[in-house]
Structure 1
């Protein structure tokens, strides 16, 4: 009886110390992510310079938790003119590669650096060049292109849900609303395969 009890206790200890963790970030795994946050001046107040962004993307993991990201993003920044706010909006598509450079042993926390190509369309005041006071906007609508450098921190909340925090610097050419746009955002990624 003591021998059976000893074997059961030994087996229980082995199960406790060698727990199997779920497989995470395996090559070929995919997730859909939703992100949003503040842009440029990083103000919460909806006044001059207030900017925000929102995006959706699909991530596909490769070796060592590196991943490809393909998605779309909307960025809006508002400018004050005589007490009224006028929007400058950018619709961009993104394709990029994120290189994982730091993770814990259990694959719960990750830090990745991403480089992306961006292309899209920029519109100022939704194409309306005449303002209510009769002034004429000289900025117009343009196709834009460029890239982005992103630092992404992510943590698995469950095996299928990943929380993200990121900082990004976008550099875009072809538009009238500035070349550089800084972003800070949060997001969630749902692993779908």
Structure 2
């Protein structure tokens, strides 16, 4: 817990040193980390974690490339069946609304995604002899994301967001909604 307090104090001090910096400069790069819950059912074990890099285009618009790990759990009798999805993403985000000083921005982004979905670690047979009909596959599709970007400082941005993935070449559901929280550190 003490280390967490030191990290928070360090981030605050780092943000105070950039009082003369500008925001949303074209070609400015940033690192972004996100985590959240998959909303297709009410299990808290269903989550995602992603990391990526953004490059500002100006006026609040930016491009984004990143990787996401998504884990879901399905119950079957007394066991759980893990479903893992590894996804690469390329996106462009458009600024919809922003306040005058660019402290709060609402952005909408569209992404192209591709990856691999692995069901039950690749094992098709369950403990009681039942066969899993859903198969592990390469998947592809798109993502629509609505985010609120709150600038804590010129370098640190908090990003609550909701998004929906549409994944093809899967034997599971087509649409997969999720909600999460991210942090972006401008370089």
TM > 0.5 between the two? yes
Instruction: Give 1:38's aligned residue.
Output: 37
Based on CA coordinates, which of the two structures has the bigger radius of gyration? Answer: 1
Q: CA deviation at 1:169?
A: 0.8
Q: Taking structure 2 as the reference length, what is the TM-score of the superposition?
A: 0.86
Q: Does 1:111 align with 2:109?
A: no
Q: CA deviation at 1:103?
A: 0.9
Candidates 50, 62, 68, aligned match of 1:67: 62
Q: Taking structure 1 as the reference length, what is the TM-score of the superposition?
A: 0.83
Instruction: Give 1:190's aligned residue.
Output: 185
SS of the equivalent of 1:62 reads strand
Instruction: Give 1:80's aligned residue.
Output: 75
Alpha carbons of structure 1 residues 45 and 166: separation in structure 2 relative to 1, 3 Å:
closer
> Segments of 4+ in structure 1 off by > 4 A?
none
Describe the superposition over 1:69-106 as per-residue Cα deviations: whole angstroms up to 9, x where unpaired: 10011111111100211111111100010000111111
What is the root-mean-square deviation of aligned Cα atoms in Å? 1.4
Q: CA deviation at 1:43?
A: 2.9
Candidates 110, 113, 116, aligned match of 1:121: 116
How far apart are the structure 2 equivalents of 1:151 and 1:42?
20
How far apart are the structure 1 equivalents of 2:29 and 2:108?
18
Aligned length: 169
Alpha carbons of structure 1 residues 163 and 87: separation in structure 2 relative to 1, 3 Å:
same
